[in-house]
Amino acid sequence: MGSRAKLFSEVGRFVLFMQRVLRKPTRGRMFWRSLMYEMNLIGVDSLVIVILISLFTGAVSTIQTAVQLTAEGGILPPDIFPMEVVGSVVGNGSLLEFAPTITCLVLAGKVGANIASEIGNMKVTEQIDAYEVMGINAANFVSLPKILAGLIMIPCLIVLANFLLLYGGVIACKATGMLTVDEFVTGIRSSFTPLYLRLMLIKSFVFAFIITALASFEGYYTEGGALEVGEAGTRAVTRICVFILFFDLIIAQLFL
Amino acid sequence: MIKLENIHKYFGDRHVLKGINATFNPGQVNLIIGASGGGKSVTLKCMVGLEEPDAGTIWFGDRDFHHLDYAGKQLVRREIGMLFQGTALFDSLTVEENVAFPLRMFSAMNEAEIKDRVNHCLERVNLPGVNAKFPGEISGGMKKRVGIARAIAMDIQYLFCDEPNSGLDPLTSRVIDELLLEITHEYGITTVINSHDMKTVLDIGETIVFMYQGEIKWEGSGKEVSHGRKHVPELDEFFKASF
C-alpha cells in the first residue's frame, strides 16, 4: 500500500473508530463511575508534573528574556527596553504557547502513553473482545470516558499551568533581582490581550482531544503482544506530538 | 440451538472457512476440535460476532445473527457467555466486580441482589472467599473459574469456551472440564468448546466437530470418535498425535 493510500486508510479507520466512540453510553451509572476515575487519573495524577514544568518554564523564560533584553552587544542598546517588556513577553508567551503547547506535549508522554498502553493491553488480553461479546460497544465504553475526562481536565490543567508559569516568573524576579515583581506584573497586565486567552482555551480543547482520542485509537487497534503494546504507546506519543504542533500552527494561522 | 449454514470466511485471499455446516444442541457440550490453524477459533469468533462471515448464516434459535440489526445483535449477545483462552478478566476490577460487571451493565438488580448473585456464581464454580482479590493475585485455574462465573452471571442461553484448558495442569483441566459439563446440564445451555485436548474430547464431548484446514472432516458423538478415526485419516493423525 502506498503512503498516500495508507494515510487515507488510517484517517478512515480513525473516523470509523470515532463513530463508534461518540455514542450514548450503554449504562449511565457505569459511565459516570468510569468518567470520575479517568478524571482523577488524567487530572489529579498529572498535577505534580504540570506544577513542576510550569514553574520551571516560567522562571527560565523570565530569566532568559531578561538576559537577552539587557545583554550588551544585542541588536538594540539594553537601556532602550523598559523591564516591563519581560513581563509582557513572558505573559503573552505563556498564554499563546508555553501553557497550552508545552503542557500538552508533556501530557502526551504521560497521559497519551498511559491510555494507549492500557487499551492496547486490554486488546491483546482479549478484554476488549470480552466487552464486545457481552454486547457492549467496547470503543465507546473504554474510550469515551477517557476522551471526555481529557476534555474536562486538560483545559483546567492548562489554565493552572498558565498561572504557575507567571508565578515561576515572579519567583525568578525575586530570586535574581534582574527586574522587580512590579515591573514583571505591570508588563503582564499592560499587554494582556483577551484574544490570546481565547486562543489558549481553544488550543487546550483541541490538544486535549488529540491526546485522548489518538491514544485511544492507537491502543484500540493494537495487535500482537507485549512488544506491540509498547510500540503502540510510543507511536501514540509520537503522533500526538506531531499533531499538537501541526494544529498549533493551524490555530495560530487562523486566529492571529 | 445454534446452526451454522455454509459459512465462508476469507482473510485477504486466504480461504479459512470453506462452507461450514454444523448444529450445536442445547443441554450438551459441543466440541470443535482440530489442530491449530484449522479454523476453530475463526468459527467461534464468527459465532460470537467478533468476526463477520463472508457468506452463510448463523442461527441462534430462529434468529439469523449476522442479518440482525445492531440492537437485535446486542440482545443475542446478552444471552451469550464466553470463557476466553486467556480468561480476559478485567485487570482493574476485583473478582467480585468482574463477576458483577455484566449484572451492573444489563440487569435491573440492586447492589444487594448483585452481591447475592455474585456469591452464588462463585460458589457454583467452587470459588468462595476470593471476592476481594484481583485477577493478578489468583492462579490460572482460579481465573478460569472466575471466567466461568462471569459467563454464567447473567441467565445465558449459550456458553462459548476457547481452549478452556490451555495453560492448566491435568488435574485443574479435569476440574474445569467437569465444571463445564455440570453447568451445561444444570442450566440446559448450548455449550460450544474449542479444544485440541483429546482428553477433554473423551471426557465431556457429547457432540464433536473435527475441523481440518477450514473444513469439517468429521462429526459425531464422543463415543463415535474411536470409530470415526478409522475412516478419517486426518482425525486419526490428530488422535495419535494427542497421546
| pLDDT for the residue B121 | 94
Mean pLDDT of B161-185: 90
What is d(CA B98, CA B118) in angstroms, rounded to the nearest whole number? Answer: 9
- Return the biggest CA–CA distance within chain B: 56
Q: Is residue A171 part of a domain?
A: yes
pLDDT of residue B222: 79
pTM reported for the whole predicted model: 0.89
C-alpha cell at B126: 467452587
Q: Which domain holds residue A100?
A: 32-255
For B86-112, write each residue's pLDDT tens digit: 899 999 999 999 999 999 999 999 999
pLDDT at B170: 86
**Eight-state DSSP code of residue A136:** -
Close Cβ partners of B204 (under 8 Å, ≥ 6 residues apart): B29, B31, B177, B178, B180, B181, B222
pLDDT above 80: residue A80: no
pLDDT in tens, B125-139: 988 889 999 999 999
| Residue A13 placed within a domain | no
| Residue B236 distance to chain A (closest CA, Å) | 33
The answer to whether B82 touches B48, Cβ cutoff 8 Å, is yes
pLDDT of A69 above 90: no
Q: Is the model's pLDDT at B235 over the cut of 90?
A: no
The answer to whether the Cβ–Cβ distance between B77 and A126 falls below 8 Å is no
Measured in whole angstroms, the distance separating CA B148 from the mean position of its chain's CA atoms is: 10
Please give the average per-residue pLDDT across A187-201, as a whole number: 94
- SS3 call for A237: helix
- Nearest neighbour of B86 by CB, restricted to A29, A126, A136: A126
CA distance A235 to chain B (A): 24
The arithmetic mean of pLDDT across residues A15-31, rounded, is 93
pLDDT at A1 over 80: no
Q: Does the structure show a pLDDT above 90 at A187?
A: yes
> Is it the case that residue A77 has pLDDT exceeding 80?
no
- What is the number of other CB atoms lying within 10 angstroms of the CB of residue A120? 29
**Considering only CA atoms, which of B141, B180, B211 is closest in space to residue B27?**
B180
With contact defined as beta carbons under 8 Å apart, do B52 and B7 qualify?
no
Q: Kindly calculate the radius of gyration of chain B based on its CA atoms and give it in whole angstroms.
A: 18
Closest listed residue to residue B159, CA positions, set B135, B140, B187: B187
What's the gap in Å between the CA of B232 and the closest CA on chain A?
A: 34
Residue B23 neighbours by CB under 8 Å, 6+ apart: B1, B2, B3, B4
Mean pLDDT is lowest, of A161-165, A171-175, B15-19, B73-77, for B73-77
Q: Which residues does residue B126 pair with via DSSP β-bridges, in sequence order?
A: none
- pLDDT at position B36 is 85
> Would you call A82 helix, strand, or coil by DSSP?
coil
Measured between beta carbons, which residues in chain B are less than 8 angstroms from residue A225? none
Q: Do the chains contact at B84 and A130, CB–CB below 8 Å?
A: yes
pLDDT at A76 over 70: no
For the stretch B34-44, pLDDT in tens is 888 889 999 99
Out of A24-33, A227-236, B160-169, B199-208, which region has the weakest mean confidence (pLDDT)? B199-208
Q: Mean pLDDT, to the nearest integer, of B133-156?
A: 93
A130 and B48 in contact by Cβ < 8 A?
no
Residues of B in contact with A122 (CB under 8 A): 91
- Please name the amino acid found at residue A8: F
Q: Taking a C-beta distance cutoff of 8 angstroms, is the pair A23, A137 a contact? A: yes
Q: CB of B63 within 8 Å of any CB in chain A?
A: no
- Min Cα distance B237 → chain A (Å) is 30
Is A62 a member of any domain?
Answer: yes
Domain count, chain A: 1
Half-sphere exposure of A80 (CA within 13 A, CB side): 10
Contact check, Cβ <8 Å, B85/A126: yes
How far is residue B60 from each of residues B51, B80, B187, B234, measured CA to CA in Å?
16, 10, 17, 30
Cβ–Cβ below 8 Å for B80 and A133: yes
- A8 belongs to a structural domain: no
**pLDDT, position B130:** 92
* Contact (CB<8Å) B88/A135: no
In sequence order, what are the residues at sequence separation of 6 or more whose Cβ sits closer than 8 angstroms to the Cβ of residue A172? A58, A59, A60, A62, A63, A178
Q: What domains, with CATH codes, occur in chain B? A: 2-79+156-242 (3.40.50.300)
Burial (CB count within 10 angstroms: exposed 0-12, middle 13-18, buried 19+), residue B54: middle
CA distance A5 to chain B (A): 17
| B80's grid cell | 451469550
B82 contacts on A by Cβ (under 8 Å): 130, 133
Task: Give the pLDDT confidence of A131-185 residue by residue, as tens digits.
Answer: 999 989 999 999 999 999 999 999 999 999 999 999 999 999 999 988 999 999 9
Place of cell 506535549: A105
Reading the block at residue A82, the C-alpha cell is: 523598559
User: Residue A1: exposed, middle, or buried by beta-carbon count in 10 A (0-12, 13-18, 19+)?
Assistant: exposed
Q: How far apart are the first and last CA of chain B?
A: 32
* Rounded distance between C-alpha atoms, residue A186 and residue B224, angstroms: 92
Number of residues in chain A: 256
CA distance B158 to B178: 17
Distance CA A171, CA A180 (A): 10
Tell me: pLDDT of A190 over 70: yes
The predicted model gives B42-54 an average pLDDT of 93
Contact B61, B25 (CB under 8 A): no
Q: Give the model's pLDDT for residue A73.
A: 66
**pLDDT of res. A78:** 66
Average pLDDT taken over every residue of chain B: 91
User: Which of A46, A45, A54, A119 shows the shortest CA–CA distance to A93?
Assistant: A54
Secondary structure of chain B as H, E, C letters: CEEEEEEEEEECCEEEEEEEEEEECCCCEEEEECCCCCCHHHHHHHHHCCCCCCEEEEEECCEEHHHCCHHHHHHHHCCEEEECCCCCCCCCCCHHHHHHHHHHHHCCCCHHHHHHHHHHHHHHCCCCCCCCCCHHHCCHHHHHHHHHHHHHHCCCCEEEEECCCCCCCHHHHHHHHHHHHHHHHHHCCEEEEEECCHHHHHHHCCEEEEEECCEEEEEECHHHHHHHHHHCHHHHHHHHHHC
Q: Is there a contact between B170 and B199 (Cβ–Cβ < 8 Å)? A: yes
Bridge partner list, A164 = none
